[in-house]
Amino acid sequence: MSPASARPEPARHHDHGTWLARFTGGILVVCPRCGGRALVAPPPHFVRQGSLGHLVFAPRRLTCAGCGAVADHDGERQRGGAVGARPGGTEDPFFRRPLWLQTRCAGRILWAYDEEHVDALAAYVDARHRVRHASPTLSMFARLPAWMKSAHRRDEVLAGLATLRSLAPLSAPSDRSDAAHARGDRPRR
């Protein structure tokens, strides 16, 4: 075997147009009552549809295992029609609660909805070759900020994603990242 064939093939990432909405099935947020980790997910009686588009219209329930807080969100309506949630940013798109998975990275805030979202971002950032198979306007990966896509920031972003992964199983208010503050309790730059 030659030395060239012994080298591992560089990691490739194939972007097939993954929507950010795909990761809204279970969002980890800061509990409004105790400040610990809560979950925003479709209620148990919700019947899942076939497409991802329904995720932005589906009702949601916020539940906290720590203090027992429960809240329901039946969706917004405007002029008699349903208004879909707009995923993106450091708050969940339904209750507008700060995300549990946030950390400071490269002078910015790195965030994710859940562990699956962290894994998808890590696979993309770690890839040396990125292949796009879908429209750049719909794909979550195409819309990532340049600092996350930069090869110069790869190690820093991967370390930030590892921090998010380590935060996911934690649930006490004292485990919360300083970046994942409750609204109004800290000034935001």
CA torsion 159→102→44→86, rounded to 10°? -110
Nearest to 113 by CA among 189, 186, 18, 46: 18
Quickly state the pLDDT bin for 9 (edges 50, 70, 90): low
**pLDDT of 36-69, one tens digit each?**
999 999 888 766 665 565 677 778 899 999 999 9
Looking at residue 150, what DSSP letter applies? -
The percent of residues above 90 in pLDDT, for the chain, comes to 48
State pTM to two decimals.
Answer: 0.84
How far, in Å, CA of 118 to CA of 113, rounded?
8
Top-confidence residue, 93 or 58? 93
- The domain segmentation of the chain, as residue ranges, is 13-175
- Give residue 7's pLDDT: 47
**pLDDT of 123-139, one tens digit each?**
989 988 877 776 666 78
- Give residue 32's pLDDT: 93
Whether the predicted pLDDT of 82 surpasses 80: no
Whether the predicted pLDDT of 86 surpasses 90: no
Quickly state the pLDDT bin for 183 (edges 50, 70, 90): low
Whether the predicted pLDDT of 166 surpasses 60: yes
Angle at 164 between CA 146 and CA 68, to 5 degrees: 130
Asked if 62 contacts 38 with a C-beta cutoff of 8 angstroms, the reply is yes
